[in-house]
Structure 1
């Protein structure tokens, strides 16, 4: 993005200095400035969300005495698209305090499930965000349940072993380049549901993992790329 803005500014500088060119140049500059302002606003909200996520961990998990918290995914790129129900994810990893410590401890992912109207031109309303913390074992259980509703595979042990070695793609679970568990082919208006826990249902729809939150009655969809990022964080070999 910075490179694109620089190219535009250089092009404007080299543009012939007639009135039409100047008018066109002014319009382009205005557009660039608007884009820059929008990016800055989103970055500010990302920082605000990360700070609030950290505060939530400090308030609700005192056992975490040394940890790193970083944004994994801040849903949405355009402000108008971000006002709907969505999910933010943050990766958390513990470490042993030392000079230049390494992140070598337990990994967890914090979900921030949002309700409609959670964000506006005034910022984020964190009263409309529900937090949910999972470790690798809980995530694996969620993915097993997801695979069971998304495919004909039913053996829990087999699915866990495949998930640990594989990755989620659009068509199913791949181990290396082989599609080991193919997902059902559904149309966009078809859903398969499992009652996962007291707080949520898991919903399989074409190319997404849906989480239905019972308390708020919200259906939140996690993109396939979001699933891949979380799974890679937990099970990649470093």
Structure 2
């Protein structure tokens, strides 16, 4: 009887431990699988980033042969997941010209290259650049674009006031915050409301809560640029 009791006590102690060991093994395997999935996702985004930068560089060399000293970097791949990128409607690249002075690069003109995407631009093979439309701007064109956007997004109609606020401040979530000049508040509208202005023969601008919409007339695509990306582009041109 005593042996039976001892055996039962031993089994009682061992069974939870074995169960715990099995559960721990399952948890470790799941964690390892999760880490592998995360690693694969990061590698996929990094591969897409390299592919995008290579194609953008090829486009620049083909269409702007005057650029012979420059740096090119994506603005919007950092911290993104594959599912985020598949929903992205524009890829943005920062381009900076430079000259070599005393064996050191001296930075010069800044431009931004937009790659406007259309449905299906990311598939199982990577990026289909036949579904990307390219558009390059400098700081003056960006200022014109943001002036037009701010004009339709706010009650301020005077372009001189808007340009002064943009040049001496920054775009924030609710408008333009000026260090010098006038702060400009954007309209508070619902997510299903749109304010439209005809910017150029190529595009219309649409103000919607927290985003800039660019309607491409040729492809009839509506591209959304988040307010965070607007802030990054503005800082690249005027703060860096």
Match of 2:217 among 214, 217, 226: 214
Mapping of residues 22-171 of structure 1, within 5 Å: 22-74=25-77, 77-84=80-87, 86-98=89-101, 99-103=103-107, 105-171=108-174
1:177 positional shift: 10
Contact 1:195 1:202 in 2 (8 A): yes
Aligned CA RMSD, in angstroms, stands at 2.0
Separation in structure 1 between the aligned mates of residue 195 and residue 78 of structure 2, nearest angstrom: 24
Match of 2:229 among 221, 226, 230: 226
Contact 2:42 2:81 in 1 (8 A): no
Separation in structure 1 between the aligned mates of residue 70 and residue 170 of structure 2, nearest angstrom: 26
Match of 1:200 among 200, 203, 207: 203
Partner of 1:11: none
Separation in structure 2 between the aligned mates of residue 207 and residue 177 of structure 1, nearest angstrom: 24
TM-score of the pair, normalised by structure 1: 0.88
Structure 2 unaligned spans of 5+: 1-18
Contact 1:84 1:115 in 2 (8 A): no
Separation in structure 1 between the aligned mates of residue 73 and residue 84 of structure 2, nearest angstrom: 23
Contact 2:165 2:181 in 1 (8 A): no
Contact 2:121 2:128 in 1 (8 A): yes
Number of residue-to-residue matches in the alignment: 221
1:87 positional shift: 0.5
Contact 2:69 2:98 in 1 (8 A): yes
Contact 1:172 1:179 in 2 (8 A): no
TM-score of the pair, normalised by structure 2: 0.87
Contact 2:45 2:77 in 1 (8 A): no
1:176 positional shift: 3.9
Seen in structure 2, the aligned counterparts of structure 1 residues 197 and 72 have a Cα distance that, compared at 3 Å, is same
Contact 1:144 1:160 in 2 (8 A): yes
